[in-house]
Each structure stands twice: as structure tokens, then as C-alpha cells.
Structure 1
Amino acid sequence: MSFQGWKGSDPPMASSSLLPDYAVELWHEHRITIILLSLFVLGALRVYLHFTEERPQSLVFSKLYAPDATKSPVDAGNLQDEKPVLSEEDEGGIKEKKTSNGPRRIKGGISKKTRTASERGDKPRRIQVLLFYSSLTANTEKIARDFADTLDESLRQGAPDVGFAKPQVLDLAEVDYDEYFITPPKMENEQEAGPLDLFYLFLLPSYNIDSVNDSFLEHLRDTHHDFRIDTSPLSPILGYSVFGLGDREGWPTEEEGFCFQAKELDKWMAKLTGRKRAFPLGMGDWKRDGKERLSEWQTGVTETLKLLEQTGSLGEGVKGSGDPIESDDEDVEDDGEMLFDESSDAPAKTKTSGDLEDVEDLGRIIQLSGADKGTKQARVPIAVDFTTETKSKTRKTPPVVIKEMVPKNSPTYASLTKQGYSIVGSHSGVKICRWTKSALRGRGSCYKYSFYGINSHQCMETTPSLSCSNKCVFCWRHGTNPVGTTWRWVVDPPELIFDGVKEGHYKKIKMMRGVPGVRAERFAEAMRIRHCALSLVGEPIFYPHINEFLAMLHAERISSFLVCNAQHPDQLATLKHVTQLYVSIDASNRESLRRIDRPLHRDFWERFQRCLDILRERRFRQRTVFRLTLVKGFNVEDEVTGYADLVEKGLPCFVEVKGVTYCGTSTSSNAGLTMANVPFYQEVCDFVVALNDELNRRGLGYGIAAEHAHSCCILLASERFKVDGKWHTLIDYDKFFELLEAKGPDGDFSPEDYMGPATPEWATWGNGGFDPRDQRVDRKGKPIEA
């Protein structure tokens, strides 16, 4: 600032206009210092106020009956000697919170999980034990039911209000696998209308033949490998445990196969449940120590279930507990991958697959592994792992051994031979029919004689495959035959089967020589087989060389009736000419078919429909027959319309309607089949009349052609076989063989070309169908007057 123009003794006063300029100049010169100082003062003031101001005390509302709500449920359940926090307001204001001054004491043991209304609903859940079993001889069923009763008593111990429902016993041959082993079923508590938690138990005997165990284990394996299904679809269940029944006479040790199917089940259930093995696998031989081992296993399972009911947990196991793959299931090598042989001159180099060189560097690796000019021995390259795994795992793959379907030392062989079967080779059988015995004595023939002109005493009943893909509730073969969905056994040549079944049949005919009442002329005729019914047991079309076997029958002018269960459309499509082709139609809808036939194929209904389409295409090239087996309480009531739909779809030449034959076997009782399920003949007649009316209403052109009351069987025929007002259901067998020889097994000829003479009057509808040449007798063999 300049004062050069100033005069006088004192300097003049600064002008007021100069002050703002001075303040601005001062701010610009010291603004950074001022800002930092202000921030420091404000921060110090904030800290000072934070520590010095007196904050008001907030109200705390807590339950009088519970500990501090801020604690976890586990801590809340375990704290001892701690007073609950209370706060209440009175006239004087707010009282201070009262807390315990002593240290917290923690109670040891497993903590209980608190069941809240939001988690469990209004009422607590109960545990439902499902006990699954499989059996060929009904022994395991009795063991399973006794076990369930004992387990129920052990869980309740006189207290009916415990959290367990009554255990359910389920046969693996009857249950729907998709319903129980893809997603657990949702079951309701009938007593308290609440949900039920499921716990699976298994009693599984091991068989060295194909049984329902094989299809069940295959279903578990397919479920595990199905990418569309969750890795652990059965994880919602509480847990599982398996007990295996074996035979140490045939399999002395586990390595030799003792309880091998139970071990397999235990492994797959561990995978599907997410390692919820509640109790270790139990094994026992019922002939030796089975009862003791089962009792020990039951005790452990009972304790586990009680712990589960009290705590909601299976408990803490050791490390690795519940692993689906045990230590002896696979060999784990070292992490490193040896790239060069140790015998190489260069130092051995190990690299894990995680830090393996790029593909571009493989040329250098191969070059380094080559033989050096100065060395005599080449460096041999070892296999290079291209995967991203850090461990090389080599699973033990047992050698594939193709086994026999029915070995001679198997329980199935013993059971079938005891029933009168002659086992031919490893998978075929023959048996003399009761109608053959009856015809030899002049006491009547079966429906095939009334309907088609087949002499029962010249008929051989056989099958080239004892295995079946169904477990029908009405199977009169005692359910002991093997089952399977694919052929995986030793295949016997058709020549061996053909010669074997003829030899076995003639041996059984010769055994009838000394039976009282056998007619000499019919015995002589019986020594010449004229017809073969491929319907003994199992699935004949399942045999891989069925066409070759049929050709051998036809070469000796033996007619063929082949029965299939509509579960193998591929084999049916390749089948060549047979004299008459049967398809079992045991139900009119999917659910009823599943209940009656109990098929092993998961797509059984789709296979069934494809077979009907194939029969429709062949109705002008082969005599096709629908066989309807009526089981009261299963497929009789309100199914006429459904059966009419199937007939309209397949348009068979004939429809046989037959009432089920009750044989009183254990298999039938397991399926809930009793004499109450056997329809009276009048009920079968009423059903046939209703079905015929429905078919005529649709204009399909069928009529009631013949009957055989003694077999409880009635025949519906297409009007293609009605000539001049008379039914012609009989077969001209000589004409059939002439056509077959002239045009070959794939020849183009129709069923009308070998249609026989008119049906006998005594066999037509309303006349009973009993051959007048024969004499009817009662169960004691006394003649019955007509």
C-alpha cells in the first residue's frame, strides 16, 4: 500500500472500502490452514460430546418365561442359574435391569432343537418308519412284520403319545419306485392332522438269481446318474438303515458275496440321501446267527430313532461317517503324475495335472522323453493326465461274468422243480398242464379245444424264458421265477431248448401210464405233440432266438400260441409268423395296470401302447388275441369303457375274457389277493355282455362267439370270422403249415386263409362249452350228471 501523496503529522485513517479486499487476500493466503483447523476442532468436539453426554435408558420388554431373546436357541436352552432380564415401569420411572452377577454355566450334552409354531405348524411332527422288504418265498415278509411289531413296542414302551406313528411294512415288488425313491412321499398324521417325517428301513435278502432286488438297485443307480434329478433327492428323509439276510453256506464271506445286494443298497442310499446312514449296515444268516444279529441291529436302530425324536439330529459321527464310497471301494493313488519312468537317466519329474504344461509344450515333452544319443535306454513316457482332477482315482472294475438265469444250485431252481417244472438248460422250462391230465382220462379239455380245436392231451406247455418283466398279483407260478427288464444271462441255443422241452414233456406224459382212468387211445395220441403253448411262465418273446425256436416247432408241424405281456414292443415288432399271438390286457388304464401287473419298466404304459399299435398293424397278417384276466376289486368295476378303448385301438381278431384263478399261494396273499377277488362265472358273463354292447355301440363289429364255463372263459370274436351266420373260430392247422411252407415265416397271408370249420354247437355262447365226448366229475372224481 502506498502513502506517497500523504502530508501531515499523522497518517490518515484507512478507508472502509479497503477492509474486504484485505480479508479476501488473507483467506486466500491461509485457507488450507483454516479448513484443517476447523475440521480438527469439530472432530474433537464430536468425540468429547460422545463420551460425556448422558444417554436416556430405553425400555426393555422381555418374556417372563424365557431367557434373553438375543441369545441363540442353543444357548437359551443350555444356560443355567441365570435370572431372566426384567424391566417394568412404575410411578417413579424406570427400574434398572436385574442380571445375574455370577458366571454363566453351560450344561453339557446334545442340545435340543426348539420346535416353533412357524417351523412345525400348530402341532409337532411325528416320525413315520417305512420298512421295505423283498421276498421270493414269503419268509422275509414274516420277519419284516414281526420286526415292525417289535419295533413299535420298543419305541412306545407303554406311552402312546410319543412322536412315532405305527411302522408301515412295504413290499418292494408292489411299491412304485418313483413314489418313494425319487422324491419322498408327503404323508400326513391321521391322528393329529400334521405332517410326518420319514425314516427308511430295509430288510433285503440277497439272491444269486434275477429278482426284484436287481430292478430296485438298477432304479437307484439310474436315479443317481440321471442329470435331471437332484444329486440327493432323498435328503428330506430323516435317515435310513439296511439289514441284509444272507446264506453262508453258498457265500461264506462278504468277499464271496455274502449279503452283497444289501451292501449295494446301503451304498446307493447313502448317495441318494446325502450321507444319512443312521445306523451301520447289519448282516446275518437266518439259519445261524440271523436272529441275534437282527436283534442287535434293532436295538441300535431303536436308540437312534429315540435320539432323533428327542434332538432332531442323527448325532455327530466320526470324520467321513456316512460317506457313500467307503475306503475299500476305490484305490487312491498319489497326487503326483509320474511323467517319466524312474529308470530314465534324467531325474524323475512329477507334475500334478493342475500345473501341466499347455498342449503347445507337449512337443517339447515328447522330445525330451526320446532316446538320447549317448544312452542305451530310452526314456519311456508315462500316461499324461489331461483332466483337471488333482487325484488320479482308479476304480476297481470286477470282471464281467455272464451268469445263468436259473442255476441248478439256486433257490429258484429248487422251487420250480418242486412245483413240477422241468428246467431245460439255464433259462427254459416245461410242465404238464392239469388239462392235459384231465384230457388223458376223458374228463374234459381246456378252453383251447372249445375255441380253436386244440387237443389238450397233445399240447405242450413250455417257455424259452423263465424270466418276466412283471410281478402280476394273480401269477399262479408262486412268484418265484426270476424277473428282469433286459436279457443279461447266458443264452442257450434254440436246438438245446427244443430237444430238451420235448424230452421233458414226453417224460411227464409217460408218468401218466399207471394213473387210473387214462384212456389208451389218448395216451398214444399224446406221444405226438401237435401244439405248443408258449405261456408257461415268464416272457417267451424275451428269448433272443425266439424266431429260430418257432421255426423248429413249425418244421415238425407243431402249432404255436405265443403269449406276451405287452412290455417288449421291439421284440414284438421283429416276431415272425405264429399260429396265434396273444397279448395280456390286464387293465384299462395306467394306474390299474401298475397295481395288477406290477411292471418293472418305468415306461410300462408307453410300452403297452406301442404293442397295441403293432397288433393293429398285424391284424390282417396274424391271428391276434387280447387276453383279459378279470380280478374283482382290481379291474372289473367301471372299466368296460376303458377296455373298449383298448379294443378299438388294437382291433384284435379275438378277445378272451377269463376270471382269475386263485391258487392260494403266498405271493397272491402278499398282493392282497383272496378268494373274494375271484369273480363268479355269472359276473364274467355280465362283464362280457356289457363289453360286447359297448363295442357294438361303437360299430366295431364284434360278437360273443364261444364259451367254456369250466374254465370261466368267454370268447369275443370279430365278425371277420362269422360266415353265413356261424362263427368259425377253429383253426385249419394243415392249411397254416402249407401257407407257411409256401410263403415263408414272413409270408403275406391273412388269418382268414387258414380259418377252420364252424365252431361246434356245444361250444357256442349259451351251451357251456364242455366236450360231450368227455365225462364231467366233481372234486372227488365222481361223475356229474349233465
Structure 2
Amino acid sequence: MAENSSSLSSVRWETLPAEVLQIWHQYRTPIIVSLTVILVALRTLHILRNRNKQELDRKLPLLSSAGPKSVDTNRTSSERVGENGNTEKPQSGPKRIVGKKLARASMISAGFSPATDKIQPLVFFSSLGGMTEALATKLSQELDVWSETLEDPSTILKSSLLDLSYIEQDDYFVSPPKGEPNTSYFYLLLVPTYNIDTTLNNFLENLKETHHDFRIDTAPLARLLGFSVFGFGDKEGWPTEDEGFCSQAAEVDKWMAKLTARKRAFPLGMGDIKSDWKTRLAEWQDGLQNVLLEIQKGNGLGEGVPGSGDAEESDVEEEEEELDSKKVPKKKAGKSTLDDVEDLGGSYRGSGESTGPLAIDFTTYGSKAKTVENTSREMVPKTSPTYASLTKQGYTIVGSHSGVKICRWTKSALRGRGSCYKYSFYGIKSHLCMETTPSLSCSNKCVFCWRHGTNPVGTTWRWKVDPPDLIFNGVKEGHYKKIKMLKGVPGVRAERFAEAMQIRHCALSLVGEPIFYPHINEFLAMLHKERISSFLVCNAQHPDELAALDHVTQLYVSIDASNKDSLKKIDRPLHRDFWERFLRCLDILREKRFQQRTVFRLTLVKGFNIEDEAEGYAELVARGLPCFIEVKGVTFCGTSTSAGAGLTMQNVPFYEEVCEFVHALVAALERRGLEYGIAAEHAHSCCVLLGSTRFKIEGKWHTLIGYEKFFECLESGEEFGPEDYVGEPTPEWALWGNGGFDPRDERFYRKGKKAVTCDG
């Protein structure tokens, strides 16, 4: 057979025409290459078609709503739909696992549409003796009654009452419950604190485990509309939060913030079961109802500010801020660090410099005009770098030349960590105080200015003038908006948050020169009409405006140096006759000392105005005879303008150095026969208060202000003076030698820091 095959093959080749063989031998190489290319192309096309089919199989469940035919979303990726709509099983072989990355729960917003969605409040409680259960039941009932009074009661459903001891916690705290379509949930938790093992211990462990479980998203409750916690405690057994007051409620609040991606709708409420729980619970409930109204309108929980809604504990947050502040910043325009003088002066003496934006100088030295120029030019246009810089620093610009900003002490007071020195000296609670200015422009460029030199400067008003009612309404709106943004800050106390929604004091000392505003008296009248006290600070460069100023609750003049040369170096005034203006302002204060509470504010800058200047300051006091003298160490802001003037951290005095200067100043005043004494202190602000003995009544200092008395005197229309609205005696803890920190607040110490006081 082999021979036959060989012979047949030989016959076939022999029978081929010679021309064909010649063509084959001549073109066989290109023919083989062409066939190879065609085969590769066919193979590639086949692979691409298979990939397209796989992609289609993967996307079919997502396309079900786009076509007329429904697709079973439970179908596996290995099944596909045929042309007739029937499911076809894949051919034999291994299954291909096809999927996609799921979105994190914290990345999914819990949007609420008032037109279609419903709010379902869930009231959780834990109770041993039955008190918390009774209060939770009452809360649930009152919420239902309240919701019926709304214009659209159908949006807020009847609340559900749930006992943490009996529910399956995984059904509520691993993911939101699965209810009716278009229903979103809002959690309210009433939690007592016990010193024994209860269901709460298990509940807290469950929350922690849920957050740390790698199989579960770190914020699995992010779809909730919001949450809020109220705690009951006993101050008789646990007087402070550090000692355990409402500690379990605080833990629940912390872990719920983590699990909900910072959906804290209202600050943690805390009530003492033996004293104020009814008042605190009523404030908390009222706040929650306001939040539910905002959600019902589609406004959500509102926007936050840096630090707002941070799920970390307050102490952890502060420690992280401290670590960040120790990092060496890169040289970048507009970047600088601000910190409290006690924390800075006691820990750092380096001369590190940082850069910052230069001041924008609008000065016209030759202008002597005292009338307001009618111009449409805006002081701070919205398109200007000044506007961008100030808003970046946290200012809300009102109109074209005014601003409002939340003071850091406001946040501190809301968290029960203490108020500023004005609380120790004059009884002003920081969370009730609004810090604002009707004029962002100033006539000085002080080396220690906290505002980074970004505000405009000038000697005369050459800009558009906004009406006082526009400014008044605008700064109030801006202040309240910023307060509302703080409701998610860890540690904010519900009762203080509720109090903060009613401004009681206004510090006109934010930035710029408030007295520069042409309608300052009309603005003050609007404050006083709403019984908001006024604290106005001027830099002693506008004597005409100072002389025309109406009654304020307290009038400050910044005394930054004791002589002409020092004042020029520190304040860097723009007026050529700055020293004459300065002295004239002191004379005006002397004339007003029986109509106004007048205050000299001395800002001490080591190397500039401390050494051997106590005598000079005493001469200025003798000239102005203020009611009070505040002596405060400078707070270094670290801008390029400060560094350019030679100001570094070495110029920040220690508190002990401030105290030494105070003793020297008192001695110099005594040598001149001036009756002043050391009344109070606030060591945390590196600040000491000297008072005229006019305010030492029956051997006790009365530096506090009787605010109701002030408004009564003002409304009477009769002449009155500072003694007519003297308040209660200065509290013992605020007196000289006692530190000046309210023991009812919780002092927060950074690592390695302790309070420093000077013995009286």
C-alpha cells in the first residue's frame, strides 16, 4: 500500500502542468505569509466577539429598566438571555465569575425628596428601673402629636419605640431596617449611664465590633437621615464627664457618628436625674423637631465646617490637631499657624518664620477729608483676592465691607471646655457672643495682627457705604449659620447649643476698625434694641469718631506702646500724625470715664514694649484714667508681615513675665497716687485685669456687668454711668491668684501642659 500511495503521489505531481509548478515555486513565500495573516485575523475576531458577549451578559441586569422586557436581577452572570427572551444555560465548562466593585455605604448619600419620601423616627431606649422607658414613651407620643400639627403631617410617620434589650441589634445597627419604599429612618437614642454591667455594655461592644469588622463597611448606617443621643446621669456620684457623668451616652454618640459617616443631627444631650434633666431634655427635643423640619423641607442636616461632625472623640481630635501643628509647613502663600498664647509661649521659643499674603494698602496720605465720599467702589469685592483670602480663613463677608466669624472660644464653650477671659472678667459666655465688624478696613498694620495682613487698610473712607440694617441682619444670619454648622462637632453640649441660638453679646473687634464705619451709632442702636450688649475696640487713631460715639456697654482702646517710637514699630500706623491722634483719643476717654465703662487693652510684645516701659504706661493711664486695664501677652500669628517686622515666637512673653509686668505697672500707678488694683486673671489667655477702686465695693471686686441694668438705663433716656450697671461680685475662681477658669467647665490639657497661675 505504501508503494501504491507513493506512486499515486508521484503521478499527481507529474500530471500537474509545468506552469503551475513554476508559479508555486515562485510565489509560495508570499502565499504562506498571507494565509498566516488571515488565520491570525480570524482568530482575533473570534476572541473579541467572545469578550463582547461576556460584557453583555454582565450588563443585562442593569439594562432591565431601559427595555420593555424585565430581567431577573437574581440571575447569575453565567446565564444569558436568548433572542426569544428565554434564559439559556452556558455550555459545559468552568464558570466565569464576573462582577463589579460595590459602592461604599459612606459614599452613598441618603437623599430625601419631600414630594415622595417619608421620615420614620425610631426611638431607642435602655432602662433598668423604668424611668428611661417612660421618658422615651412620652417623647415618642409628643413627637407624634407635634407631627400632626405640621402643614404636611404625612411626611413624618408615627414614631416607633424600640427597647435595646429586646431588639435584634443586627437588624438596626449593621444596616438600616428594610421598610416600606421611599421611607428613610431617623434614630433617637435615650441612654442612661450605669456603673454595672447592663444591656448597654453589650450594645456598645456591638457598635464597636460593627465598625471594626472588615466584612462590613465602616459606615454601614450612612443611609440614615441622621441620629441624636440623649443621656441621663447622676452628678452626685459622677460630677464631671471625666469622672463618668453620662459616659455611656457619650460612647454611644461617638460610635454612632462613626457608623453613620458623621450624621449627628443634634449635639449629645445630657441631663442630671436629680436636677436639670427636664430642662435639658426639653431643649434637646425642641432641637430635634427643628432638625426634622429642615429634613422635611429637603434641606438635610446642613453643611459643616472644618471639624464639624468629626466622628473622633474630642480628645483624639485635639491630639491630632496638635500633631499637625508641629509639622513643618511648606512655604506657601496664605499658610500660617495660629494657637493660644499659653500653649505656644510655654512650649516653643524658636524663631521659625512662615510666609503669608501681604496687606493690601488703600492708603491716601494726603487726604484730610472727614466726609464720606459718595462712591460705588466696594471695599472688598467678591472677585478680589482679599475676599478669597478672608473667606478661606472662615470669615463670612456681609455686604461689601463687613464680616462675621466664629471665635475658637465659642467652640470651646459649646463643648464645656471654658470661655475666654471676657467671661472671667465681665461675665460674657463665649457661646452667647458674636464676633463681628462693620468695617474690615483698618488704619494700622500691627505686627501681631491675627488676620494675616489680608484685610484692607486706609486712613479715610473712600468706599461704598452699606446701610446698617443690611449689616445687622447679615452678620446675625452669618453667625447663626455658623453656629448651626457646629451641631455635629463632638462634645458639643445640647443645652449650650440651644442657648447659642440667641445672641446676647457682640464683640466689635473681629478685624479692621469698627469705629471707622460712618453709621456705627445706628448699628449699635440695633444691637441694643434686641438687648445685645456691645463691646467695641478701637485703635486710638480716629478721635473725631470716638468723640461722637454713643453709649456702648464697654469701650476699649488698644494701648500697644507707651511711647511714639514703640507705637510706630508695633502698630505701624498709616496716619502721619498717629501719636497726636493717639493722645487725643486718651483725652476723650478721660472725658467719657463717667459715662462709659472704658478699658485700656495693653498687648505685651517681648522686646518691643515690656522692658522698662511700665512707667510710660502709667503716664498714659494717668492721662486717660480708664475704668479697667487689661494686660495681655501677644499671640504670635506667624505671618510674613510679622517676620518682616522682626516679630518671632521669642517675642511671646511667658505668663510669669506678664505677671511681673503687672506688678511693676501697679507700683508705678501707686507712685502717681492712682488707685488701681489687680482684680482678676485668666491664665489660659495670658491675661490679667486691673481695675479702678471705683469697682471695689465693700472690699469685693465687682468687675462683672449687670447687662439688664445697662439696658434699663439705656431705655430710660436719662444720663447714666458705669456704676449704674455694676453686676454681681467677681466670682472667687476668677480673682487674682486663682487662675480664672470656671470649675463648672472641663479644662482640656494638651499632653504635657498644665495651667500656670501667678500668686496674688
| C-alpha separation in 2, matches of 1:667 and 1:441 | 34
Counterpart among 354, 360, 373 of residue 211 in structure 1: 360
Write the letter of the residue equivalent to 1:535. S
Query: Residue in 1 aligned with 2:383?
Result: 409
Query: Residue in 1 aligned with 2:426?
Result: 452
| C-alpha separation in 1, matches of 2:673 and 2:756 | 41
- Given that residues 707 and 714 in structure 1 are in contact (C-alpha distance below 8 angstroms), is that contact kept between their aligned partners in structure 2? yes
Query: Residue in 2 aligned with 1:758?
Result: 729
Counterparts of 1:713-724 in structure 2, within 5 Å, are: 713-724=687-698
| C-alpha separation in 2, matches of 1:705 and 1:754 | 18
Counterparts of 1:480-629 in structure 2, within 5 Å, are: 480-629=454-603
Write the letter of the residue equivalent to 1:678. V
Query: Residue in 1 aligned with 2:396?
Result: 422
- Given that residues 683 and 756 in structure 2 are in contact (C-alpha distance below 8 angstroms), is that contact kept between their aligned partners in structure 1? no
1:524 Cα offset (Å): 0.4
Query: Residue in 1 aligned with 2:671?
Result: 697
Write the letter of the residue equivalent to 1:437. K
User: Cα–Cα, structure 1 residues 139 and 524, in superposed 2: closer, same or farther, change >3 Å?
Assistant: closer
Counterparts of 1:379-394 in structure 2, within 5 Å, are: none
Query: Residue in 2 aligned with 1:295?
Result: none
Query: Residue in 1 aligned with 2:661?
Result: 687
User: Cα–Cα, structure 1 residues 570 and 400, in superposed 2: closer, same or farther, change >3 Å?
Assistant: closer
Query: Residue in 2 aligned with 1:777?
Result: 748
- Given that residues 494 and 548 in structure 1 are in contact (C-alpha distance below 8 angstroms), is that contact kept between their aligned partners in structure 2? yes
Secondary structure of the 1:758 match is coil
1:460 Cα offset (Å): 0.2
Secondary structure of the 2:435 match is strand
Query: Does residue 1:646 correspond to 2:620, yes or no?
Result: yes
User: Cα–Cα, structure 1 residues 139 and 503, in superposed 2: closer, same or farther, change >3 Å?
Assistant: closer
Query: Residue in 1 aligned with 2:649?
Result: 675
User: Cα–Cα, structure 1 residues 404 and 637, in superposed 2: closer, same or farther, change >3 Å?
Assistant: same
1:422 Cα offset (Å): 0.3
Query: Residue in 1 aligned with 2:629?
Result: 655
- Given that residues 776 and 784 in structure 1 are in contact (C-alpha distance below 8 angstroms), is that contact kept between their aligned partners in structure 2? no
- Given that residues 680 and 734 in structure 2 are in contact (C-alpha distance below 8 angstroms), is that contact kept between their aligned partners in structure 1? yes
Between the two structures, name the one with larger relative contact order (CA 8 Å, sep ≥ 6). Answer: 2
1:668 Cα offset (Å): 1.8
- Given that residues 777 and 783 in structure 1 are in contact (C-alpha distance below 8 angstroms), is that contact kept between their aligned partners in structure 2? no
Equivalences, count: 403
User: Cα–Cα, structure 1 residues 566 and 622, in superposed 2: closer, same or farther, change >3 Å?
Assistant: same
| C-alpha separation in 1, matches of 2:737 and 2:438 | 37
1:667 Cα offset (Å): 2.5
Q: Deviations over 1:191-248 (max 9, x none)?
A: xxxxxxxxxxxxxx9x9xx932x32xx34x689xxxxxxxxxxxxxxxxxxxxxxxxx
Secondary structure of the 2:488 match is coil
| C-alpha separation in 1, matches of 2:548 and 2:755 | 48
Write the letter of the residue equivalent to 1:666. S
- Given that residues 450 and 707 in structure 1 are in contact (C-alpha distance below 8 angstroms), is that contact kept between their aligned partners in structure 2? yes
- Given that residues 458 and 526 in structure 1 are in contact (C-alpha distance below 8 angstroms), is that contact kept between their aligned partners in structure 2? yes
| C-alpha separation in 1, matches of 2:545 and 2:616 | 26
Secondary structure of the 2:590 match is helix
- Given that residues 440 and 512 in structure 2 are in contact (C-alpha distance below 8 angstroms), is that contact kept between their aligned partners in structure 1? yes
Query: Residue in 1 aligned with 2:605?
Result: 631
Query: Does residue 1:738 correspond to 2:709, yes or no?
Result: no
Secondary structure of the 2:487 match is coil
Query: Residue in 1 aligned with 2:308?
Result: none
| C-alpha separation in 1, matches of 2:374 and 2:657 | 52
- Given that residues 413 and 423 in structure 1 are in contact (C-alpha distance below 8 angstroms), is that contact kept between their aligned partners in structure 2? yes
- Given that residues 775 and 784 in structure 1 are in contact (C-alpha distance below 8 angstroms), is that contact kept between their aligned partners in structure 2? no
Query: Residue in 1 aligned with 2:203?
Result: none
- Given that residues 561 and 578 in structure 1 are in contact (C-alpha distance below 8 angstroms), is that contact kept between their aligned partners in structure 2? yes
Write the letter of the residue equivalent to 2:563. N
1:139 Cα offset (Å): 6.4
Q: Deviations over 1:679-707 (max 9, x none)?
A: 00000000001101111121110000000
1:401 Cα offset (Å): 5.3
Query: Does residue 1:665 correspond to 2:649, yes or no?
Result: no
1:778 Cα offset (Å): 2.3
User: Cα–Cα, structure 1 residues 680 and 784, in superposed 2: closer, same or farther, change >3 Å?
Assistant: closer
Write the letter of the residue equivalent to 2:645. A
1:589 Cα offset (Å): 0.4
Write the letter of the residue equivalent to 2:584. R
User: Cα–Cα, structure 1 residues 779 and 418, in superposed 2: closer, same or farther, change >3 Å?
Assistant: farther
Q: Deviations over 1:608-629 (max 9, x none)?
A: 0110000000100100000000
Identity of aligned residues (%): 79
| C-alpha separation in 1, matches of 2:723 and 2:611 | 35
1:534 Cα offset (Å): 0.1
Query: Residue in 2 aligned with 1:470?
Result: 444
Counterparts of 1:430-449 in structure 2, within 5 Å, are: 430-449=404-423
- Given that residues 461 and 532 in structure 1 are in contact (C-alpha distance below 8 angstroms), is that contact kept between their aligned partners in structure 2? yes
User: Cα–Cα, structure 1 residues 722 and 497, in superposed 2: closer, same or farther, change >3 Å?
Assistant: same
1:779 Cα offset (Å): 3.3
Query: Residue in 1 aligned with 2:719?
Result: 748
- Per the normalisation by structure 2, the TM-score is 0.51
Q: Deviations over 1:238-281 (max 9, x none)?
A: xxxxxxxxxxxxxxxxxxxxxxxxxxxxxxxxxxxxxxxxxxxx
| C-alpha separation in 2, matches of 1:447 and 1:515 | 23
- Per the normalisation by structure 1, the TM-score is 0.50
Secondary structure of the 1:513 match is helix
| C-alpha separation in 1, matches of 2:409 and 2:708 | 24
1:784 Cα offset (Å): 8.4
Bigger shift: residues 747-756 or 710-719: 747-756
Query: Residue in 2 aligned with 1:768?
Result: 739
Secondary structure of the 2:748 match is coil
Q: Deviations over 1:131-172 (max 9, x none)?
A: xxxxxx9969xxxxxxxxxxxxxxxxxxxxxxxxxxxxxxxx
- Given that residues 702 and 730 in structure 2 are in contact (C-alpha distance below 8 angstroms), is that contact kept between their aligned partners in structure 1? yes
User: Cα–Cα, structure 1 residues 452 and 139, in superposed 2: closer, same or farther, change >3 Å?
Assistant: closer
Secondary structure of the 2:497 match is helix
For the pair shown, the structure with the greater C-alpha radius of gyration is: 1
Q: Deviations over 1:596-650 (max 9, x none)?
A: 0000000000000110000000100100000000000100011000000000000
- Given that residues 447 and 642 in structure 2 are in contact (C-alpha distance below 8 angstroms), is that contact kept between their aligned partners in structure 1? yes
Counterparts of 1:242-253 in structure 2, within 5 Å, are: none
| C-alpha separation in 1, matches of 2:700 and 2:407 | 31
User: Cα–Cα, structure 1 residues 674 and 610, in superposed 2: closer, same or farther, change >3 Å?
Assistant: same
Unaligned runs of 5+ in 1: 1-136, 141-172, 174-204, 224-398
| C-alpha separation in 1, matches of 2:491 and 2:753 | 12
| C-alpha separation in 2, matches of 1:418 and 1:782 | 30
Counterparts of 1:168-247 in structure 2, within 5 Å, are: 211-212=360-361, 214-215=362-363, 218-219=364-365
Counterparts of 1:71-86 in structure 2, within 5 Å, are: none
